[in-house]
Amino acid sequence: MKNTTHFGFKKVATNDKQSLVRNVFNSVASKYDLMNDILSFGAHRLWKHYTIASSNVKIGNKVLDIAGGTGDLAIEFRKKVGDNGQVILSDINAIMLNEGRKNLTNKGIIGIEFVQLNAQYLPFNSNTFDCISIAFGLRNVTDKDQALKEMYRILKPGGCLLILEFSTTDSALLKKFYDFYSFNIMPKLGSIIADNEASYQYLAESIRKHPNQEDLKSMVLDAGFDFCEYNNLSYGIVALHKGVKI
The mean per-residue pLDDT over the stretch 231-242 comes to 97
Q: How many CA atoms lie within 13 A of 203 on its CB side?
A: 28
Kind plus residue range of the DSSP H or E element containing 51: helix 43-53
Q: What is the pLDDT of residue 174?
A: 95
Which CATH number do you get for residue 125? 3.40.50.150
Q: What is the pLDDT of residue 146?
A: 98
pLDDT in tens, 203-213: 999 999 999 99
195 part of a folded domain: no
106 part of a folded domain: yes
State which amino acid sits at residue 6: H
Q: What is the pLDDT of residue 27?
A: 86
Q: Look at 14-23, 52-61, 91-100 and tell me which has the smallest mean pLDDT.
A: 14-23
pLDDT higher than 70, residue 74: yes
Answer yes or no: is 70 a known binding residue. Answer: yes
1 part of a folded domain: no
The mean per-residue pLDDT over the stretch 48-66 comes to 97
- The Cα-based distances of 100 to 78, 111, 129, 133 in angstroms read 14, 13, 21, 16
Q: Please, what is the average pLDDT of the chain?
A: 95
Note down the domain range covering 62. 41-171+206-244
Answer yes or no: is 222 a known binding residue. Answer: no
Q: What is the pLDDT of residue 22?
A: 86
Task: Choose among 157, 101, 119: nearest CA to 17.
Answer: 119
60 part of a folded domain: yes
Separation of alpha carbons 116 and 122, rounded Å: 10
pLDDT higher than 70, residue 124: yes
Does residue 33 or residue 223 have the better pLDDT?
A: 223
The mean per-residue pLDDT over the stretch 47-65 comes to 97
The mean per-residue pLDDT over the stretch 122-137 comes to 98
pLDDT higher than 90, residue 179: yes
β-bridge pairing 62-66 and 129-135: parallel
The CB density around residue 113, as the number of other CB atoms within 10 Å, is 11
Instruction: Count how many domains the chain has.
Output: 1
30 part of a folded domain: no
The mean per-residue pLDDT over the stretch 45-52 comes to 97
pLDDT higher than 80, residue 2: no
Separation of alpha carbons 148 and 99, rounded Å: 26
The DSSP bridge partners found for residue 11 are 6
Answer yes or no: is 51 a known binding residue. Answer: no
32 part of a folded domain: no
pLDDT higher than 90, residue 183: yes
Q: Can you state the angle between helices 14-28 and 94-106, rounded to 10 degrees?
A: 30
- pTM summary value: 0.95
59 part of a folded domain: yes
Q: What is the pLDDT of residue 1?
A: 57
55 part of a folded domain: yes
DSSP conformation letters of 109-165: --SEEEEE-BTTB--S-SS-EEEEEEES-GGG-S-HHHHHHHHHHHEEEEEEEEEEE
